[in-house]
Amino acid sequence: MNVCQTCGACCASFRVDFHPAELAGGAFAWGQGVPVDLTVPVTPAVVRLCGTDASPPRCVALAGELGVAVQCTIYDVRPSPCREFDTEHAACNQARKRQGLPPLPK
Ligand code: SF4
Ligand code: SF4
């Protein structure tokens, strides 16, 4: 099992903003694109995944229990910020620390 499937910290730590062209039907959508109803418009050029600016933040697309077993329910169509964030990202351990999880060896 991938370590991310027992973590989910980054999905509950940061705002996730992206261009509306990655929404369902958009010109730069991955697969079917991100469902519009999981996002809120921020500016004409920016949409945000619901829940990622809540306090505490948690993406509405994240299922499961943080630090135990989680799943992105829109994994195949997730937007580019999610695709660019992985265990090599500098903020990975920052997010894990915020959730009380031990750092991953880098
Ligand atoms: S914080 Fe790091 S280990 Fe946890 S889900 Fe995100 S990329 Fe994976
Ligand atoms: S769309 Fe998926 S990968 Fe991206 S923040 Fe939400 S749960 Fe995490």
Q: Is residue 81 part of a domain?
A: yes
Q: Is residue 83 part of a domain?
A: yes
Q: Is residue 54 part of a domain?
A: yes
Q: Is residue 19 part of a domain?
A: yes
Are the C-beta atoms of residues 78 and 86 closer than 8 Å to each other?
A: no
Are the C-beta atoms of residues 46 and 90 closer than 8 Å to each other?
A: no
Q: Is residue 74 part of a domain?
A: yes
Three-state DSSP class for residue 41? strand
pLDDT tens column, 12-33: 999 999 999 999 999 999 999 9
- The closest-lying atom of ligand 2 relative to the alpha carbon of residue 60 is 6
8 lines ligand 1 (CB under 6 A): yes
- pTM, rounded to two decimals: 0.96
Number of domains in the chain: 1
Residue of the nearest CA to atom 3 in ligand 2? 82
Q: Terminus-to-terminus CA distance in the chain, angstroms?
A: 18
Residue of the nearest CA to atom 8 in ligand 1? 4
Q: Is residue 45 part of a domain?
A: yes
87 lines ligand 1 (CB under 6 A): yes
Q: Is residue 73 part of a domain?
A: yes
Classify burial at 90, counting beta carbons within 10 Å of its beta carbon; exposed 0-12, middle 13-18, buried 19 or more. Answer: exposed
User: Once rounded to an integer, what is the mean pLDDT over residues 1-20?
Assistant: 96
Task: Please state, for a pLDDT cut of 90, what percent of the chain lies above it.
Answer: 96
Range of the domain at 82: 3-98
